[in-house]
Structures are given as C-alpha cells and as structure tokens.
Amino acid sequence: MDIVNVDYDGLIPNNVDLSHDTRVKHALEKWHPGYIGWWHDMGPEGFQQSLVYLRTAVSVDAKGWAKFDYVRMPDYKWGILLAPQMAGRKIGFGAHKGEDAWQEVPGEYRAMLRRLIVIQGDTEPASVEQQRHLGKTAPSLYDMRNLFQVNVEEGRHLWAMVYLLQKYFGADGRQEAEELLQRRSGDADTPRMLGAFNEETPDWLSFFMFTYFTDRDGKMQLEALAQSGFDPLSRTTRFMLTEEAHHMFVGETGVGRIVERTCQAMREAGVDDPHDIARVRKLGVIDLPTLQKKANLHFALTLDLFGNEISTNAANAFHAGLKGRFREERIKDDHVLESGTYPVLRLVGGKIVNEDVPALSGLNMRLRDDYVADCNIGVGRWNAIIEKHGVPFKLKLPHVAFYRRIGEFAKIRTDVDGNILGDAEWERRKDEFLPSSADRDFIVSLMQPQYEPAKFAGWIAPPKVGIDNKPGDFEYVKIAA
Ligand code: BYC
C-alpha cells in the first residue's frame, strides 16, 4: 500500500488501503449517501452546480500534496487521508509515556477517546452549516472560492473523524457517525455540541473573524490530538493540520485586507480620526472600532471552546495519553505532570486572581494560553497595516474574562480590560464592547455580491497574490457552469 499517494479509484479516496478492509469500506459506503444528502441540504446554498477552482489532496507528502482544478462541490473527492505512520512511535506523555503508541483502541479509555473524536467531528459540519449562506454575498470570486475550499475541507475533516468511528468503535461508532449528520448548527432541539458552533455567521467579517479565531482553536485542539498515543488519531489530525493552515490564512488575510481598505479609504478622504465612525462609514468601509468589537466577540466565543479553567476531563485525557499539550515534544519537563503547578486566572471572592493549580488540572488553560499567544501574532500584523497608514488606532485582544459563557467568568461581566461590571453598568455599556444591532446592520448593508473576475467589493482590498499563483483576473468560480 502506497501511504503517501492517495488511491482515487473507488468511491472513497483513501490512503488506508480501504479496498482490503471490506467491513469499514462497506460501512463508509453506507454512510456516503447520507453525507451527500447532508451536503446538498446544509452545504453552500445556491452554488452546488458552479465550477470552483479547488485544491484536492492527492498525497500526504509535506511537499506538493494538492492538485488544483475546477470541481463541482458535490463531486469533490472527500477522502480519508492519514499522515504516514512513524515506525516505532512511542506515547509521549502521561501514565503510558514511553510505551508503544496504540494501533487499536485501548479498552479502558474507549469512552473517553470516542467522546474526543465525536466532539472534534461535530465541529466540522457545524461550520459548513454556519457558513452556508455566505456565497450569496461574496465580495469577490477569489473570496468565494476560499470559502468553498474551507467548506469542502471541513467536510473532509468530518470524514476523517467518521473513519475513526467506523473503523475502531463498532456499532456505537456507526451510531455516532449517523448522529453527526443529524445535529444542526443553531437547532433548538438538536444543536451542535459546542457553543460557538451554534452561533450565526451572517456576514463576511464574521466569516473572517471565525476563520481567524475559531479555526485557530481547531489548530490548537488538533495539535493536542496529534500528540495522541492512539496512533490513528494522531496520524489523522496531523494531516488535517496541513489543511487547517489555509483556513487561518483566509481569516488573517481577510481581516488584514479589510483593515487595509479602511485605512486606505480614510487616507484618501482625509479622515484622520478613526473614532469618527459616521465619516468612516460614509466611505463604504468598516470602521476600526467596529472591527475591534467583532474581534472581541469572536475571541470570547472561541475561548469558551477551551472548556473549564479546572478540568478533570482534560487531566484524565492527558494522564491516559490521549490528548497532549500544544507541541508536547518541544516542552522541557517530565511529560507526566503528576507534580508541578500551572498559573490559572480564577474568580476568587469576587476578584480575578492568578492561582497556581495542579498542572494536570490546568491543562485546558495551558492550551488556551498558547492559543492567546498565537492569536496575538495576527493582531500584531493587522496593527502593522494600520501603522503603515499612520492611523492612530491599535487593535487588541480583550481580557480572557470578557463575555464568557463557559468557566468561572461566565458568572460575571467585565469590560474588555477585565474590570468587573455590575449588571446595570454592563447593560448600559455593552455596545461599547460588542457589535450593537446598528453595527451589525451597517456591516450587513455592505454585503453586496461582487461576482466579476478581478473585482472586489469596496470594503475589502484585493489579496497580494492569487491562489495557486493565478493572475488577478482569474475566474475562481464559474458560477453559471
Ligand atoms: N460548549 O471538563 P470541561 C475545530 C462541557 S474547533 C459546551 O472543562 P473538557 C474547528 C464539557 O463537554 C476544535 N459544553 O471539559 C474550528 C463537559 O461536559 P460533560 C474542536 C462545553 O472536556 C473551526 C463539561 O462542560 N475540537 O476543530 O476539558 C471550524 C465539563 O467541562 C464547552 C475539540 O474541542 C463548550 N464550549 O473541555 C471547524 C477537541 N466546554 O462531558 C472546526 C475535543 C466544556 O461533563 N474536545 N463543555 O457532559 C475537547 O478536548 C474537550 O471536550 C473540550 C472541553 C476542550 C471541548
């Protein structure tokens, strides 16, 4: 079996030798029509027949794994791709540190492992559902193509988790795989599992913020799962990470191009004060204070995805060797963490204080701290654009206690600097920190589609380079194909 190149002959492209694994092949073939049905019902609305210039993975080689071509999305080759097995791989952390990585599910950890895989799997279709209306207001064909690329790859990530469920978890795995197609983002009765995946993505600024902030939670969680002692999960998530990088690129450059266009328009019109929102909006661009509020919202929603400050689930998953830390192999400690502490921000006696907690209990926060540091890199790049234009404004991430729904800070309300506010003050001031309905209406008013090659909506700058090095006038989506 050629593990690097992908077998595209059958219904389900794969590099896991599915043709010799009849049981799993049949289970996946049985699941396939339900998936296609879900894609038709819940995937990008209105563009299923369009030809989209998409990349498809043809190998799992670090260099040159993608092939670009026009594809109708329902014909996209969703497949099962695992990074190559590393000979002699050992479990890198927890109670089983140093033992051979598991090729089968360790019986004692079956339920925990299945839960992690199901939660990961649930987020993937959720994001496609959240973004399904955006094609209709795409600011360019370039952006529309990127949206659809992200969507088909999230679909593939669902396949990745479903493969693990079908191959390693028998009847209950098949049941979970079915349920992944039944839950719906935002549905009152059968919602998706995690909060942020039930929010709406009503406009393109929300999409870019989501791909910047929320896909980055995806990166952190996948990095932690890539450390797993359960080798098939590690190999699956390692390949997913290579795809994920593009999604965060879409987010970072999307917000960056909006910042660029806003600053450019302000300079051309001689508007010096970034807080003169009325004048900036008259230019047909998104003012920087509103961008800040959107960032506050998406950052806070995403922090909730890291779970509680003190988590026995996280401690157990680490101890079991199922979920590690961000880049575990680069950390210099014993990788067992039975002694030692980690500083965690907590709510004690009505005050936010730093407290040392047992390192194992604080693992969600350690991952979250790594996430915050990663988020700050892009914020720095956005600020460099603002600075280049000489606009006196700086974007910044809000305090981690701001606007939380999960964890200790869900009990309180704070301003963006983490000062605790009473209910009345919060009600009075919340529109200072979060998009108001007027802000949302303004953003939505800008969302007019621009479907001509080489053209971009007036509120976003063109990208510096095309996808696959295509020229500026390339027709990334042939809508009426
Ligand atoms: N919403 O012990 P705790 C991505 C529950 S994104 C609702 O702190 P734990 C992507 C929790 O389930 C990455 N419930 O939890 C991005 C638990 O319930 P039970 C997705 C929540 O387990 C963009 C209870 O509270 N992958 O890939 O340490 C586009 C106690 O909590 C939430 C993963 O998340 C919440 N936000 O931490 C597409 C990786 N938070 O079991 C894709 C897998 C907590 O007591 N998941 N709860 O009933 C995990 O590692 C963990 O389950 C979590 C939660 C980090 C989510």
Assign 3 a pLDDT band (cuts: 50, 70, 90).
Answer: low
Nearest of 159, 152, 136, 162 to residue 74 by alpha carbon: 152
Q: Is the predicted pLDDT of residue 2 greater than 90, yes or no?
A: no
Mean pLDDT to the nearest integer, 108-135: 98
Q: Whose CA is nearest to atom 47 of ligand 1?
A: 307
Q: Is 198 in the pocket of ligand 1 (CB under 6 A)?
A: no
Most informative mutation of 165, 313, 346, 360 for ligand 1 (most atoms within 8 A of CB): 313
Atom of ligand 1 nearest to the CA of 405: 36
Contact 396, 379 (CB under 8 A): yes
Mean pLDDT to the nearest integer, 38-61: 93
Q: Whose CA is nearest to atom 33 of ligand 1?
A: 120
Angle between helices 141-168 and 170-182 (to 10 degrees): 150
Q: Is the predicted pLDDT of residue 1 greater than 50, yes or no?
A: no
Q: Is the predicted pLDDT of residue 296 greater than 50, yes or no?
A: yes
Q: Whose CA is nearest to atom 32 of ligand 1?
A: 307
Query: For residue 407, how far is its CA from the centre of ligand 1 (angstroms)?
Result: 11
The tokens describing 466, both together, are 């095309």
Task: Kindly report, residue by residue over 75-99, the tens digit of the pLDDT.
Answer: 999 999 999 999 999 999 999 999 9
Q: Look up residue 344 and give its DSSP letter.
A: E
Average of per-residue pLDDT values in the chain: 96
For 44, the 3-state DSSP assignment is coil
Task: Kindly report, residue by residue over 239-278, the tens digit of the pLDDT.
Answer: 999 999 999 999 999 999 999 999 999 999 999 999 999 9
Q: Is the pTM of this model over 0.95?
A: yes
Question: Length of the chain, please?
Answer: 481
pLDDT of residue 223: 98
Q: Is 201 in the pocket of ligand 1 (CB under 6 A)?
A: no
pLDDT of residue 443: 98
Assign 18 a pLDDT band (cuts: 50, 70, 90).
Answer: very high
Q: Is 158 in the pocket of ligand 1 (CB under 6 A)?
A: no
For 144, the 3-state DSSP assignment is helix
Mean pLDDT to the nearest integer, 122-146: 98
Q: Whose CA is nearest to atom 53 of ligand 1?
A: 307
Q: Is 217 in the pocket of ligand 1 (CB under 6 A)?
A: yes
Q: Whose CA is nearest to atom 52 of ligand 1?
A: 116
First to last CA, the chain: 37
Q: Is 324 in the pocket of ligand 1 (CB under 6 A)?
A: no
Work out the angle at residue 381's Cα, subtended by the Cα atoms of residues 266 and 65, and round it to the nearest 5 degrees: 120
pLDDT of residue 125: 98
Q: Whose CA is nearest to atom 10 of ligand 1?
A: 218
Atom of ligand 1 nearest to the CA of 220: 13
Q: Is the predicted pLDDT of residue 40 greater than 70, yes or no?
A: yes
Assign 314 a pLDDT band (cuts: 50, 70, 90).
Answer: very high
**What's the number of CA atoms in the CB half-sphere (13 Å) around residue 446?**
24
Angle between helices 288-303 and 363-388 (to 10 degrees): 170
Query: For residue 299, how far is its CA from the centre of ligand 1 (angstroms)?
Result: 16
Q: Which residue has the tokens 């990127």?
A: 146
Cβ count within 10 A of residue 455: 15
More confident site: 65 or 403: 403
Atom of ligand 1 nearest to the CA of 323: 50
Contact 55, 153 (CB under 8 A): no
Task: Kindly report, residue by residue over 408-467, the tens digit of the pLDDT.
Answer: 999 999 999 999 999 999 999 999 999 999 999 999 999 999 999 999 999 999 999 999
Query: For residue 96, how far is its CA from the centre of ligand 1 (angstroms)?
Result: 24
Q: Is the predicted pLDDT of residue 208 greater than 60, yes or no?
A: yes
CA dihedral 128, 133, 135, 137 (to 10 degrees): -140
Cα distances from 464 to residues 11, 29, 125, 472, in angstroms, run 38, 42, 30, 9
Q: Is 306 in the pocket of ligand 1 (CB under 6 A)?
A: yes
Q: Is 120 in the pocket of ligand 1 (CB under 6 A)?
A: yes
Q: Is 453 in the pocket of ligand 1 (CB under 6 A)?
A: no
Q: Whose CA is nearest to atom 12 of ligand 1?
A: 307
